[in-house]
């Protein structure tokens, strides 16, 4: 029972801190105390220590012996590495997906695109972003590479935290949707060149945003 209780407490602390860090409710450079966090959650220090370790392994916390634990700043090197890995994985996933793409795959992706279009028409960006996430997940799953999606998710998470500092990109949502339509068209038609070209364009849309944030919020970078 104690093991179950400890694991549950660890998960609760981890999930809450994780969400607060990636949403920037807790900003880079903020110092976190095991004692204070334990008091806040009403748990012992052990589940907090376990949660800190998990967050440290995800590059979200900087844990140093004899020094205060703090929310890790952004590293352009790590951000660019994450983007490189994601681009390589998505291009390879597209190659594999085209080999097995059939009518049922087309229908499922088309349903997601219809829902994206509806969300845009209703100016519901939260729903659109969730459908954006599902669009990519579907390609991995339908293409026979569901486990590779975890790699993409981890890479995306590192970049998403940085991009939260930017303005809400309502103006970019339709461009993102257009990219999705082109990717889907490439998969449906078996046109690998179109699919991969569209993926490269889609992932490069963050270039200007990242450069702007790097200049406008230098104190948040390592």
Query: Same CATH topology for 2-71 and 76-220?
Result: no
For residue 161, the model assigns a pLDDT of 83
Mean pLDDT, consecutive 10-residue stretches, the chain (222 aa), reads 61 94 90 95 94 93 90 92 96 98 98 97 89 96 96 87 65 88 98 98 88 86 89
Q: Which two tokens stand for residue 101?
A: 């793409």
Predicted model pTM: 0.82
Q: Which fold has domain 76-220?
A: 1.20.120
Closest CA to 75 of 158, 155, 157: 158
Q: Which two tokens stand for residue 154?
A: 């981890």
Looking at domain 2-71, its CATH architecture is Orthogonal Bundle (1.10)
Q: Which two tokens stand for residue 36?
A: 């204070």
For residue 1, the model assigns a pLDDT of 38
Could you say which DSSP state residue 25 is in? Answer: S
Closest CA to 192 of 85, 116, 94, 106: 94
- Listed by start position, the domains of the chain span 2-71, 76-220
């Amino acid at each position: 029972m104690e093991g179950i209780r400890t694991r549950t407490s660890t998960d609760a602390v981890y999930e809450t801190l994780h969400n607060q860090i990636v949403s920037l409710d807790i900003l880079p450079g903020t110092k976190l105390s095991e004692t204070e966090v334990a008091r806040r959650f009403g748990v012992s220090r052990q589940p907090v220590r376990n949660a800190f370790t998990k967050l440290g392994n995800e590059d979200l916390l900087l844990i140093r012996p004899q020094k205060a634990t703090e929310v890790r700043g952004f590293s352009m090197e790590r951000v660019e590495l994450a983007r490189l890995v994601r681009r390589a994985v998505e291009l390879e996933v597209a190659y594999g997906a085209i080999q097995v793409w059939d009518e049922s795959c087309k229908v499922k992706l088309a349903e997601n695109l219809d829902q994206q279009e509806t969300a845009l028409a209703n100016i519901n960006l939260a729903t659109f972003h969730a459908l954006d996430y599902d669009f990519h997940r579907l390609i991995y799953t339908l293409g026979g590479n569901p486990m590779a999606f975890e790699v993409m998710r981890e890479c995306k998470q590192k970049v998403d935290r940085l991009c939260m500092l930017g303005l809400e990109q309502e103006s970019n949502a339709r461009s993102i949707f257009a990219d999705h339509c082109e990717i889907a068209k490439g998969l449906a038609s078996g046109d690998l060149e179109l699919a991969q070209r569209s993926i490269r364009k889609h992932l490069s849309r963050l270039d200007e945003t990242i450069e702007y944030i790097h200049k406008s919020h230098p104190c948040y970078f390592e």
